[in-house]
């Protein structure tokens, strides 16, 4: 009898679970993620009221890196099981413009230094008058499920900082670089100011606010910038911590110094591919490091494919050569291009042994 009762209870639990999943899957108000580990989206998609501003002042590399990485970072504070993702709706156009303007008597919430002030770049000797340090603020919202009426439960923000600022000397404009420690210190100061300002907005109240600091500076124009700090503010209190993140080009001296193993593995892949065809095959890599550990590798292969067989050969051999990279904690994405056109994409996700191959043309 005990066994029968146990079986009946187990069946009821399984049925309850199935019913719950069906309810979620059938909910027309949400869009389930196609990739495991990502956020469910609100189906009634509301575009960001400041999307045009972002499109004007953020380059494509930075725009994608900020949005994608901000989502990844937010998972630590706003779980994918209990939160749905929505475009930022708190910062209207007027609010954003007032924040990225200079602080003044008529605009006390401004995050950029006051007009006429001198900004210390952190080297102890260089000061920049009227420095424009804050370039943009990117916002994501996290809401509850249907039973919670999709109420706002969390806000994530990235304060976009210009690490290279313009300085005028004898009528000539030059770019000077703010020291990272100084930029972080400035960012944490205005980050707390931003959090205080948000609390004055009725829709925010005591909602947890996650604020990150993003520097647009990079070692190469083909690379995005990086996050240098973050802080979670709950019950109107919180602290910032430093981030150690950067993108590097492969091959390069910087990559060799930072990660000789990955540089050697990349060189093996590159030399193997360059022996395949009579025309030159170009291979360039971009690697993102978090706390000095490779987290993501993007590889672009440029070839002159005369036939489908040549493209297929390069694609299949590349898929095999990805075994060269032994770090399975690193996402690898490869684009194979012929005369500038993407022909195939390979992706080896974290904790996977073999890549997925998609032929585009």
In a domain, 229, yes or no: yes
Using the predicted structure, report yes or no on whether residue 339 has a pLDDT greater than 90: no
Q: What is the pLDDT of residues 123-174, one digit of tens each?
A: 989 999 999 999 999 999 999 887 788 899 999 999 999 999 999 887 888 9
In a domain, 256, yes or no: yes
Neighbours of 286 (CB within 10 A): 20
Kindly state whether residues 144 and 169 are assigned to the same domain: yes
Specify the pLDDT at position 220: 80
Q: Model confidence at 8, in pLDDT bands (50, 70, 90)?
A: very low
Yes or no: say if 86 and 152 are a contact pair by the CB < 8 Å rule: no
- Give 306 or 311, the one with higher predicted confidence: 311
Predicted confidence band of residue 60 (pLDDT cuts 50, 70, 90): confident
- Answer yes or no: do 190 and 214 share one domain: yes
Q: What is the pLDDT of residue 43?
A: 72
Question: Quick one: pLDDT at residue 219?
Answer: 75
Do 235 and 261 lie in one domain? The reply is no
Residue 96 has a pLDDT of 95
Looking at 195, 210, 243, which one is the last position of a domain? 243
Q: Is the pLDDT of residue 27 over 80?
A: no
For residue 5, what are its two tokens?
């009762």
Question: Could you give the CA distance from residue 49 to residue 184 in angstroms, rounded to a whole number?
Answer: 28
Q: What is the mean pLDDT of the chain?
A: 88
pLDDT at 26: 60
Q: Read off the pLDDT of residues 178-229 as tens digits, 9 standing for 90 and up.
A: 999 999 999 999 999 999 999 999 999 999 999 999 999 887 878 999 999 9
- pLDDT tens string 66-90: 999 999 999 999 999 999 999 899 9
What CA–CA distances, in Å, run from 228 to 40, 41, 164, 201, 211? 27, 28, 15, 27, 11
Question: How deeply is 360 buried, as exposed, middle or buried, from its count of CB atoms within 10 A (0-12, 13-18, 19+)?
Answer: exposed
Contact 315, 338 (CB under 8 A): no
94 with 239, same domain? Answer: yes
pLDDT attached to residue 15: 38
Residue in this structure with the two tokens 């290279």, named with its chain if needed? 164
Whole-angstrom Cα distance, residue 287 to residue 162?
A: 22
pLDDT-above-70 percentage for the chain: 90
223/273 same-domain check? no
**What is the DSSP-derived secondary structure letter of residue 109?**
T
Domain assignment of residue 100, yes or no: yes
118 by Cβ neighbours in 10 Å (0-12 / 13-18 / 19+) ranks as exposed
Q: State residue 357's pLDDT score.
A: 96
Does the pLDDT at position 121 exceed 90?
yes
Which of 243, 263, 287 is a domain's end point?
Answer: 243
Q: Tell me if 224 is assigned to some domain.
A: yes
Query: Are 276 and 191 within one domain?
Result: no
Q: Distances from the Cα of 204 to the Cαs of 82, 193, 278, in angstroms?
A: 18, 15, 61
Provide the pLDDT for residue 3: 43
* Count of domains observed in the chain: 2
Q: Could you tell me which residue, 34 or 200, shows the higher pLDDT?
A: 200
Same domain, 80 and 196: yes
- Is pLDDT above 60 for 6? no
Residue 147 falls within a domain, yes or no? yes
CATH number assigned to the domain comprising residue 260: 3.30.300.190
Is 296 in the same domain as 237? no
226 and 260 housed in the same domain: no
Q: How many CB atoms lie within 10 A of CB 75?
A: 14
Q: Which of 183, 213, 243 is the last residue of a domain?
A: 243
Q: Is residue 17 part of a domain?
A: no
Predicted local confidence at residue 55, as pLDDT: 65
pLDDT digits (tens, 9 = 90+) for 200-211: 999 999 999 999
Does residue 188 belong to any structural domain of this protein? Answer: yes
Residue 202: give its domain's CATH number.
3.10.570.10
* Same-domain status, 36 and 181: yes
> Residue 55: is it exposed, middle or buried by C-beta count within 10 angstroms (0-12/13-18/19+)?
exposed
Residues 329 and 223 in one domain: no
Q: Are 215 and 299 members of one domain?
A: no
- DSSP states along 114-155: PTT-EEE-SSSS-EEET---EEEEEEEEEE--GGGTT-EEEE
* pTM (2 d.p.): 0.87
CA 241 – CA 295 distance, rounded (Å): 20
Write out the residue range of the structural domain in which residue 111 sits.
25-243
Find the helix or strand (DSSP H, E) in which 164 lies.
Answer: strand 164-169
**Mean pLDDT of the 94-109 span:** 97
Is the confidence at residue 237, as pLDDT, over 90? no
- Specify if 16 maps to a domain: no
Q: What is the pLDDT of residues 264-306, one digit of tens each?
A: 999 999 999 988 887 788 999 999 999 999 999 999 999 988 8
């Amino acid at each position: 009898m005990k066994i029968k009762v146990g079986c009946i209870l187990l069946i009821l639990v399984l049925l309850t679970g199935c019913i719950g999943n069906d309810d979620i899957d059938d909910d027309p108000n949400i869009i389930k993620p196609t990739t495991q580990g990502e956020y469910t989206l609100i189906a009634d998609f509301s575009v960001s009221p400041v999307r045009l501003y972002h499109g004007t002042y953020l380059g494509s590399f930075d725009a994608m890196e900020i949005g994608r990485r901000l989502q990844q970072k937010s998972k630590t504070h706003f779980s994918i099981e209990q939160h749905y993702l929505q475009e930022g709706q708190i910062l209207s156009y007027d609010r954003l413009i007032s924040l990225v303007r200079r602080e003044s008597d008529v605009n006390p919430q401004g995050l950029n230094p006051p007009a006429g002030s001198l900004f210390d770049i952190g080297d102890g000797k260089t000061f920049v008058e009227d420095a424009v340090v804050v370039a943009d603020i990117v916002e994501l919202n996290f809401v509850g499920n249907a039973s919670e009426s999709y109420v706002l439960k969390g806000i994530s923000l990235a304060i976009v900082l210009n690490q290279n600022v313009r300085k005028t000397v004898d009528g000539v404009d030059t770019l000077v670089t703010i020291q990272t420690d100084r930029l972080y210190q400035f960012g944490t100061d205005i980050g707390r100011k931003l959090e205080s300002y948000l609390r004055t907005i009725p829709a925010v109240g005591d909602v947890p606010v996650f604020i990150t600091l993003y520097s647009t500076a990079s070692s190469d124009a083909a690379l995005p910038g990086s996050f240098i700090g973050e802080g979670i503010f709950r019950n109107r209190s919180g602290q910032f911590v430093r981030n150690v993140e950067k993108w590097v080009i492969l091959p390069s001296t910087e990559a060799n110094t930072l990660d000789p193993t990955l540089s050697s593995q990349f060189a093996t892949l590159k030399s193997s591919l360059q022996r395949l065809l009579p025309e030159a095959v170009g291979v360039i890599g971009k690697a993102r490091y978090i706390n000095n550990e490779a987290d993501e590798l993007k590889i672009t292969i440029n070839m002159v494919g005369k036939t489908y067989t040549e493209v297929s050969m390069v694609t299949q051999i590349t898929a095999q050569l990805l075994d060269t990279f032994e770090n399975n904690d690193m996402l690898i994405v490869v684009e194979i291009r012929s005369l500038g056109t993407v022909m195939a994409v390979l992706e080896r996700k974290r904790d996977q042994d073999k890549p997925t191959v998609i032929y585009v043309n």
